């Protein structure tokens, strides 16, 4: 029996071992599958899972960077950013409808919003599982201070910088403005947006399983770069004030003015009227935000005659004292009859430019020829953008020579059939003021990072347009325009000035012909003549009544120049080196002609000086008198301002050395003493002890 059981046991298979093997195999397979899955998740899906975890556990809010300041050339702020508060609501699902309504009620009451609309927006956001809703952006902290203390459900506060322009509308066409999100939309704010804007940061909120924030951390933003302009705040103010008054006085559609330093191309002021306040864009129409100094393409009229004169003199086809027959004010070019404003006979080129003869300019253009005229037009920069760092600049209109009509040379020589912008004309006259070298106009001097390190410095292009001799010759001829020609109202007290008027008919868009009622009056000039420090252009669009450039624009030039030249430290040019002296340095062989020319210019200047006389002054005060030996009796300058003294000394040919501020209380030589032209006068300003 026992032997049989043993035999049966030996013949039965080992079931427990087989089961153990199956269980071990299953466990091994399961472990391999789990490991493979873990490897897959940790390697292939790592980034995606981490991002999903962040979304479930974190809320991220982008923080705006502090925009860099915009400064004038003296370091004064023209644009800066100020701290504000923005409101948002997180209508998370666990919030009850009455909680959202409570928040909406108090926010609407504080901000002056419509409660029903805000409550509906929040309910819709909650229904659509939107977790972030902006309520209002960039608010004053005082406005929302009460909401801080209420601890309203779902309401969040976020600090954001807001762009602020401390001078209101000053230089607004240069600065531009930004959007609600702080991105530049116009002007330098747009062109330099990337540099000024900086890099935004982020704030992360850690949440627990119930969605309640318990921790936060921030990646700080990087502030933007500071932009330093060539604009001078004080000069910009004077230009805007004078231009706005002129536009109102002449009832013009608009006006533009630019002040340019011809020695380095820096624009000291650029203004348009009407203007706008970038702090309150809704208060001005879009038309007022157009930068007409760069966008307004107009026929320049007689200011363009410098091209024909420069080309003829540079090519040795004419000289200033050459006589030219102006044909009593009429000339026919390719069958087209062109008239002068007045009937002139034979004039010197100098006189023809002063009187703005169209016939003379056309005759010079014919001498130069089509190709030559086109060459000099492009040399002066017409037909191309100047490259100024502002948006929307236009290139103007200059047609290729092969598109000229047979009579085009007659039109172009006197400033028709071409379109220019004010900044182009200023740059062209800047070339004459800078001894023939044109430097590209620019408004940005440099940029600096947050640490104050200069990251960019202006290096404007420059090229020679005409020789120094031609430029100096034209300067002397243009001075004649202010002394004896169409721009007598551009004469300055204490400074010599030169320039050219322009009066152009506008094209009527309906008839496509020249309008008989709409004009553009302009004047562009520089001062002092011997060493020009500023070029100033004034353009008046559609003035009512008087419309000639000499009447509506030249007086604005004078007002601006007389205000800003003393501010720039430019002394009255008492012993002015006029064109003949400077030409003598370039061409000493013509010494005889130079001396004659010097005497002529000196006589012209003296003839135009205002008379200084005793007009109701204190009894016994010597204001002006000529001594017997051709010297001058020293006037009494006591009690006068710096400006008045500089003007009087310039008229009498006296040099100044001053101390202090205020009004003159002491002078040497004493009143009534005999002094000679060029003598130094010592003046103490302030209050007498």
616 falls in which pLDDT band (50, 70, 90)?
A: very low
Express as a percent the part of the chain with pLDDT over 90.
Answer: 52
Compute the distance between CA of residue 259 and CA of residue 445 in angstroms, rounded to an integer: 15
Omega before 669 within 30 of 0, i.e. cis = yes
pLDDT at 366: 96
pLDDT of 95 reads 65
Nearest to residue 438, comparing CAs of 470, 471, 462?
462
Residue 42 is given by DSSP the state: I
Cis peptide before 528 (omega within 30 of 0): yes
218 and 278 belong to one structural domain = no
Which one has a higher pLDDT value, 440 or 11? 440
Residues 313, 387 within the same domain: yes
Count how many domains the chain has: 3
Residues 208 and 237 occupy one common structural domain: no
The CATH number covering residue 654 comes to 3.30.10.20
Residues 79 and 221 placed together within one structural domain of the fold: yes
pLDDT for position 65? 75
- CA-to-CA distance for 386 and 258, rounded, in angstroms? 14
Residue 43: the pLDDT is: 72
Same domain, 493 and 615: no
Task: Report the CATH number at residue 345.
Answer: 3.40.710.10
Do 430 and 262 contact (CB within 8 A), yes or no? yes
Last residue of a domain, one of 227, 255, 282: 227
Is 586 a domain residue?
no
Same domain, 370 and 476: yes
pLDDT at 609: 43
Residue 105's pLDDT is 76
Average pLDDT over all residues of the chain: 83
Rounded average pLDDT over 345-369 = 96
Q: Name the DSSP class of 401.
A: G
Domain C-terminal end among 209, 227, 245: 227
Stronger pLDDT, 301 or 639, i.e. the higher one: 301
What pLDDT sits at residue 81?
87
Identify which has the larger pLDDT, 332 or 217. Answer: 332
pLDDT at residue 490, rounded to an integer: 95
pLDDT at 399: 96
> Per-residue pLDDT averaged across 373-393, rounded?
97
pLDDT average, residue stretch 23-27: 82
Give the list of residues 6+ apart from residue 652 with CB closer than 8 angstroms, or none: 612, 624, 632, 635, 675, 677
pLDDT recorded at residue 522: 97
Is the predicted pLDDT of residue 13 greater than 60, yes or no?
Answer: no
- How far is residue 168 CA from its own chain's centroid? 15
Whether 619 maps to a domain, the answer reads: yes
Picking from 510, 535, 567, the residue at the C-terminal end of a domain is: 567
Q: Are 187 and 175 in contact (CB under 8 A)?
A: yes
- Residue 88 falls within a domain, yes or no? yes
Give tens-digit pLDDT for 59-107.
666 666 789 999 999 999 999 988 777 777 766 666 677 767 677 776 7
Report yes or no: 77 and 192 within 8 Å, Cβ to Cβ.
Answer: no
Contact between 246 and 554 under an 8 Å Cβ cutoff? The reply is no
163 and 262 housed in the same domain: no
pLDDT of residue 610: 40
Asked if pLDDT for residue 115 goes beyond 80, the answer is no
Helix, strand, coil abundance in the chain, percent, nearest 5: 40, 25, 35
The whole-angstrom distance between residue 101's C-alpha and the CA centroid of its chain comes to 49
For residue 639, what are the domain limits?
A: 610-686
Highest mean pLDDT pick, 195-199, 252-256, 607-611, 659-663: 252-256
pLDDT single digits (tens) 516-573? 899 999 999 999 999 999 999 999 999 999 999 999 999 999 999 999 999 898 988 7
Residue 584 lies in a domain: no
Q: Residue 260: which region, alpha, beta or left (left: phi > 0; alpha: psi -120 to 50)?
A: beta
Omega prior to 274 cis, within 30 of 0: yes
Say if residue 221 is in the same domain as residue 239: no
Which pLDDT belongs to residue 529? 94
23 within a domain of the structure (yes/no) = no
pLDDT score at 134: 73
Residue 300 contacts residue 420 (beta carbons within 8 Å) = yes
pLDDT tens for residues 165-202? 999 999 999 999 998 778 899 999 999 999 998 887 77
Distances (CA, A) of 499 to 303, 504, 581: 8, 17, 19
Does residue 585 register a pLDDT over 60?
no
Neighbours of 525 (CB within 10 A): 31
User: What's the confidence (pLDDT) of residue 631?
Assistant: 57
In a domain, 605, yes or no: no
307 vs 46, higher pLDDT? 307
- DSSP for 17-30, please give it: HHHHHHHHHHHHHH
Query: Is 487 strand, coil or helix?
Result: coil
Longest dimension (CA), the chain: 171
**pLDDT score recorded for residue 4:** 57
- Bridge partner residues of 70 (DSSP): 79, 227
Whether residues 656 and 515 fall in one domain: no
Residue 198 shares a structural domain with residue 249: no
Q: What pLDDT shows up at residue 575?
A: 43
The answer to whether the CB of 561 falls within 8 A of the CB of 450 is: no
Q: Locate 431 and state its tokens.
A: 């070339």
Q: Rounded to whole angstroms, how far apart are CA atoms 615 and 634? A: 16
Q: Cα separation of 67 and 450, whole Å?
A: 10
Q: State the pLDDT at residue 174.
A: 98
Tell me what pLDDT residue 209 has: 56
The residues carrying an active-site annotation are 302
The enclosing domain of 98 has a CATH number of 3.90.1310.10
Does the pLDDT at position 576 exceed 70? no
Do 616 and 658 share a domain, yes or no? yes
High-pLDDT (> 70) share of the chain, %: 77
Q: Is residue 79 one of the residues assigned to a domain?
A: yes
Verify that 336 and 192 share a domain, yes or no: no
Residues 233-265 as b or e (16 or more Cβ within 10 Å = b): bbbbbbbbebbbebbebbebbbbbbbbbbbbbb
Q: Are 500 and 515 in contact (CB under 8 A)?
A: no
396 found inside a domain? yes
Mean pLDDT of 449-478: 95
pLDDT digits (tens, 9 = 90+) for 384-409: 999 999 999 999 999 999 999 999 99
pLDDT at 547: 94
Instruction: Give pLDDT tens digits for 657-680.
Output: 777 777 888 888 888 788 877 788
């Amino acid at each position: 029996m026992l032997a049989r059981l043993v035999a049966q046991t030996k013949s039965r298979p080992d079931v427990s071992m087989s089961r153990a093997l199956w269980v071990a195999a299953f466990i091994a397979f399961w472990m391999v599958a789990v490991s493979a899955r873990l490897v897959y998740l940790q390697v292939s899906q790592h980034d995606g899972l981490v991002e999903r975890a962040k979304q479930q556990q974190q809320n991220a809010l982008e923080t705006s960077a502090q925009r860099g300041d915009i400064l004038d050339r003296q370091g004064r702020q023209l644009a800066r950013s100020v701290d504000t508060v923005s409101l948002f609501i997180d209508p998370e699902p666990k919030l009850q409808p009455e909680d959202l309504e409570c928040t909406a009620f108090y926010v609407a009451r504080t901000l002056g919003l419509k409660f029903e609309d805000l409550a509906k927006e929040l309910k819709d956001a909650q229904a659509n599982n939107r977790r972030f809703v902006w309520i209002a952006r960039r608010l004053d902290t005082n406005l929302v201070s009460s909401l801080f203390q209420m601890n309203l459900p779902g309401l969040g506060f976020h600090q954001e910088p807001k762009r602020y322009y401390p001078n209101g509308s000053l230089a607004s066409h240069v600065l531009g403005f930004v959007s609600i999100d702080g991105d530049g939309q116009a002007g330098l704010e747009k062109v330099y947006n990337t540099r000024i804007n900086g890099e935004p940061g982020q704030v992360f909120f850690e949440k627990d399983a119930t969605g309640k924030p318990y921790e936060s951390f921030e990646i700080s933003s990087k502030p933007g770069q500071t932009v330093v302009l060539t604009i001078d705040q004080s000069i910009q103010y004077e230009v805007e004030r004078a231009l706005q008054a002129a536009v109102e006085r002449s009832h013009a559609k608009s006006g533009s003015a630019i002040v340019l330093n011809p020695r380095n191309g820096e624009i000291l002021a650029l203004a348009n009227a009407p203007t706008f306040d970038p702090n309150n864009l809704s208060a001005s129409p879009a038309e007022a935000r157009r930068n007409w100094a760069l966008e307004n393409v107009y026929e320049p009229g007689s200011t363009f005659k410098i091209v024909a004169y420069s080309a003829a003199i540079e090519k040795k086809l004419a000289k200033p004292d050459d006589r030219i027959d102006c044909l009593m004010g009429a000339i026919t070019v390719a069958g087209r009859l062109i008239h002068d404003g007045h009937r002139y006979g034979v004039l010197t080129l100098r006189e023809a430019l002063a009187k703005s003869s169209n016939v003379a300019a056309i005759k010079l253009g014919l001498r130069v020829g089509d190709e030559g005229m086109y060459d000099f037009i492009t040399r002066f920069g017409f037909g191309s953008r100047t490259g100024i760092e502002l948006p929307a600049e236009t290139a103007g209109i200059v047609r290729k020579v092969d598109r000229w009509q047979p009579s085009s040379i007659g039109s172009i020589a006197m400033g028709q059939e071409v379109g220019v912008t004010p900044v182009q004309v200023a740059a062209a006259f800047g070339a004459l003021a800078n001894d023939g070298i044109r430097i590209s106009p620019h408004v940005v001097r440099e940029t600096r990072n947050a640490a104050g390190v200069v990251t960019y410095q202006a290096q404007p292009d420059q090229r020679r347009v005409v020789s120094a001799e031609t430029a100096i010759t034209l300067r002397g001829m243009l001075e004649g325009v202010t002394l004896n020609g169409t721009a007598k109202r551009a004469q300055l007290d204490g400074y010599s000035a030169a320039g050219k008027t322009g009066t152009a008919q506008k094209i009527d868009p309906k008839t496509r012909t020249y309008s008989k009622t709409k004009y553009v009056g302009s004047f562009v000039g520089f001062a002092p003549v011997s060493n020009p420090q500023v070029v100033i252009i004034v353009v008046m669009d559609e003035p009512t009544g008087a419309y000639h450039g000499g009447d509506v624009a030249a007086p604005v030039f004078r007002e601006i120049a007389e205000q800003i030249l003393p501010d720039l430290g430019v002394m009255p040019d008492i012993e002015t080196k006029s064109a003949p002296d400077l030409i003598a340095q370039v061409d000493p062989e013509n010494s005889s002609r130079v001396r004659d020319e010097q005497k002529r210019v000196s006589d012209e200047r003296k003839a135009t000086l205002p008379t200084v006389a005793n007009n109701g002054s204190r009894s016994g005060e010597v204001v002006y008198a000529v001594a017997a030996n051709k010297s001058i009796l020293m006037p009494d300058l006591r009690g006068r301002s710096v400006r008045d003294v500089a003007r009087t000394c310039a008229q009498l040919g006296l040099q100044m050395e001053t101390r202090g501020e205020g009004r003159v209380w002491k002078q040497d030589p004493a009143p009534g003493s005999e002094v000679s032209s060029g003598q130094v006068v010592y003046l103490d300003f302030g209050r007498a002890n």
